Each structure stands twice: as C-alpha cells, then as structure tokens.
Amino acid sequence: MEKYRRWLIPILLLTAFSAWIVWPNNPGIHIHWGNINYDRPLDFHLGLDLRGGVQALLEADMPCDQVDPEAMTTARVIVEKRVNALGVSEAVVQLAENCRIVVEIPGETDPERALSTIRKTGVLEFVALGKEYLPPGTVVQTDLGGTATPATPTPTAPPQATLTGEATALPSPTPQPKVYHTVMTGAALKSVTVQADQVGKGYQIAFVLTDEGAKIFGDFTSKHVGEYLGIALDKTIISAPVVREPITDGRGVISGNFTYESANDLAIQLRYGSLPIPLKVAESRTIGPTLGEDSLQRSLVAGLIGLGIVLLFMALYYRLPGLVADIALITYALFSLALFKWIPVTLTLPGIAAFILSIGMAVDANILIFERMKEELRAGHALINAIDLGWHRAWPSIRDANISTLITTAILYWFGNAYGASLVKGFAFTLALGVGVSLFTAITVTRVYLHTLLDRIKFAEHPKWFGI
C-alpha cells in the first residue's frame, strides 16, 4: 500500500502539469533571467488537412533512371530552405521514391506564388549584353547551358533599372537572338537581402559577392564601362542596367519595380542557390482554411462523443473499478495531449483518428485487468490480492497486444517515409505515441489508482460495487 502512495504524488503532479499544458489559453513557457532566455510556445500544431494550405508533388523533369540520388537529396534541401524562407511553419518536405519530392505548406494563402518560388531552377547569370539593351522578360541564349523557356512568371524590373543605385538603363532596339557570354553565375553571391529603395516607395535586392566573384565583377565592369550588363534568372532577363563606372567593392543592387513579395521571392531563389535538377509540378492540391476548420470541429466532436461513450460504458459495466478506470483514462488523455504540444506533434485527421483509436486500446488494457480481477474475487481472494493477481495475469496479454501494435506502426511509418505518404507517417507516429502512454497508464497509473481508492473497501460487504 505504501509503495503505491509514493507513486501517487508524482502522478498527480504530472497530471496537473499536463493539464496546464493542455489548457487552451496556455501562454507558454517564457524564462528571462540573467543570461537565460528560454521561450517555449505551447500550441497545437495543425497539419495541412486541418489548417488549410497547399500540397504538391514535385517531380524531376527528366527520366527517373537518369536522376542522380545525391542531386535529388540536394534539391530537397534547397526546396526545404526556400519553403522555410516563405515564413510558413510546420512545412513538410521529403523525398518520395527516386525522383519525387512531396511538399506540404500549411496555412499558405498563395499556392501559385509558393510553388513558383520553390520549383524554379533559380540559375542566376550576369550576362554581357554589350551595347544592346534587352527589356525584362526577354528569353536569351547564353554560353552557359543553352536556352530555356520559362514556364512561370519571373519577377522583373522595368527598363529604368540600376545595378549600383546610380546607373540608368537606356532603351535600344532588341537585336536578333544570339548567344551571350555569361560573366558569372549566382554561385558567386555571398549574401542576398531585400531592402527599401532610395525613394522609399519600392524594394530592391542588395547582394554581396564572394572574393572571387568580386574580382571577376570588378575586372568586367572596369573594361566594359558604358555597356549593358544583363541579369538573367533561368535564361530570362529581369534587369539590364548600364555600367557607368567600375564596381570593385563586390557589392551591387538589383533595383526596379519590385513589390516586397516579388523581391523576396527572387532573393529566396538567389540566396539558396540553383536546383541541381529541374523540377515540375506533377500534382498539386489546395485545401481552404474553411474546409480545414470544419474537419477539425467534426473531429473534436467525434472524439468527445467517443470518449463520453467509453467513460459511460466503463462506469455502468464495471461500477467502482470502472469509475477508477475513467479517472485513469482522463489522465491518459491529458498525458497524450500534453505530449502533442510539448514535442510538438503535427496533428492531422489521420493523427486524430489514431489518438481516438489509442483511447480504445487504453480502455482495453483496463478491461483485461478488471476481468481478471473479477475472476480472483469470485475465487474468494481479498480485494487487495485480487488487484495484484488480476494485473499480473492480464499483463502478458496487454504486453503482447501493444508490442504487436508498435510493430505495425513501425511498418506504417517506414512505408510513409519511403513513399512520401506524410498522412500515413502522422497516423503511425501518433498511434505509437498513444500506445506508449497507454502502457505507462496501464502499468502504473491504473494500478496506483486501484490500490489507493479500493484497498480500504471490504468487497464482501459491497459486491455490487464491483459488478459481481
């Protein structure tokens, strides 16, 4: 009896802490003391199907048997950096099979802009145009890989564009297509930032070159004063300023009629480099926030109804032990929801289904214990002994059932990870987490509650309290 009482206080403290985490208006943990600055928001992270957003399947724009796995891995990292730079949270970017990348962006309100930004090859070239001016949007052929026809709009600057803030472009007739020399590529960029222009009414992109890039750029601008230097992204001219003076400090500005969004999109592509392989959107799906919110509300109602039915059944069928199980089940729910916030776990509709399923599995453990306990009571054992004997006899079944479920969730998680099925991964992870918590509640919490509340009761005087 005493050893179970020693467990009771830690369980109650952990339950109270879990209830505080789950509390809807929880402010989070914010510690600012001396050199310690710790901030931990405690919110539920909602997935794409509950929050709305865009899901896309990007595919290499070449035969899959020609795709280099290392290049595909590099492309995934670059796409992930571009997605994160859009300012979204809980985004998912993962490889699927050999030549596909699954991208999920919860909360994204402009899917076309997002997909355009993350799938562009993003090859920046500084092109020597000589005395010819090319307007923004012109597709050119360079000596770096031939021509390209852009499939999506490219951020452009107007004819009045400057490279240093001083040079002004002078329009001239567009010549016949020819091969232009690429002075250098975006690989020479050291940093790229978006800043307000000198007038304060628009935005421009400031860049700093590496030491090697600064030398190449300085040599070129020193020898080609008065000529045009085209800035092309994926073979499309976005700006064509004229070189008015040598630029030897390795710093420049791409200015024009940019909004903050278009300037930031271009900066993201330049900052994280070009994709090693071209990507195309094989499939995309947009979920509105209203549909996601409706799904969330329906899921919550279904979960509450299911939990209520289970609590009522346990109380009516198992009487007093059933009420103890209800308390343990509520404790289990608090522990699980607190872990969802603390880890955090991105909740999706399959994830919520897995949580509801794990509630049933937690109840199943209690049912096995109570049925074995009732058998011991019918055999004439004292209540305190019947609890321990019932638990020991039920434990092998509880253990084997939960281990089988954990093996299944491991297989599902591997399948989801290998084939880019993030919903399957979410279901498997949430179910495995629920099974782990249910094992803890079955081994510890339920047993402690039973001994704490029932050991002083004389079964012979109240057999109906135990459904016998």
Task: Give per-10-residue mean pLDDT for the chain (468 aa).
Answer: 77 94 89 84 84 87 87 87 76 84 84 80 86 90 63 42 47 65 88 84 88 93 92 85 88 81 82 81 80 75 85 89 89 94 87 88 87 88 85 91 95 85 88 93 86 72 71
Q: How far apart are CA 232 and CA 230, in angstroms?
A: 6
Cα–Cα distances in angstroms (integers) from residue 171 to residues 134, 242, 366, 415, in the given order: 8, 10, 81, 57
- The pLDDT score that the predictor gives to residue 78 is 86
Helix (H, G, I), strand (E, B) or coil at 200: coil
The DSSP element (H or E) to which 82 belongs, if any, is helix 69-85
Helical packing angle, 289-342 and 446-454, nearest 10°: 70
Q: Report the CATH fold assignment for 124-144+178-274.
A: Gyrase A; domain 2 (3.30.1360)
- The pLDDT score that the predictor gives to residue 128 is 94
- The pLDDT score that the predictor gives to residue 159 is 43
Q: How far apart are CA 364 and CA 385, in angstroms?
A: 22
Q: What is the CA radius of gyration of the chain?
A: 32
- The pLDDT score that the predictor gives to residue 324 is 86
pTM: 0.66
Q: How far apart are CA 409 and CA 415, in angstroms?
A: 10
Q: Interior CA angle at 458 toward 455 and 461, to 5°?
A: 155
Helical packing angle, 69-85 and 111-119, nearest 10°: 140
User: How many CB atoms neighbour CB 2 within 10 A?
Assistant: 6
Residue-range domain boundaries for the chain: 1-31+288-465, 53-121+281-285, 124-144+178-274
- The CATH architecture annotation of domain 53-121+281-285 reads 2-Layer Sandwich (3.30)
Q: Does domain 1-31+288-465 have CATH number 1.20.1640.10?
A: yes
Distance of CA 180 to the CA centre of its chain: 42
Extract the runs of DSSP E, i.e. beta strands, from 68-209.
92-96, 100-106, 124-130, 141-142, 179-185, 189-196, 203-209
Q: How far apart are CA 444 and CA 261, in angstroms?
A: 54
- The pLDDT score that the predictor gives to residue 160 is 44
- The pLDDT score that the predictor gives to residue 462 is 67
Residues 6 or more apart in contact with residue 292 via CB below 8 angstroms: 46, 48, 49, 50, 51, 52, 53
- Extract the tokens encoding 343: 């880890």
- The pLDDT score that the predictor gives to residue 19 is 95
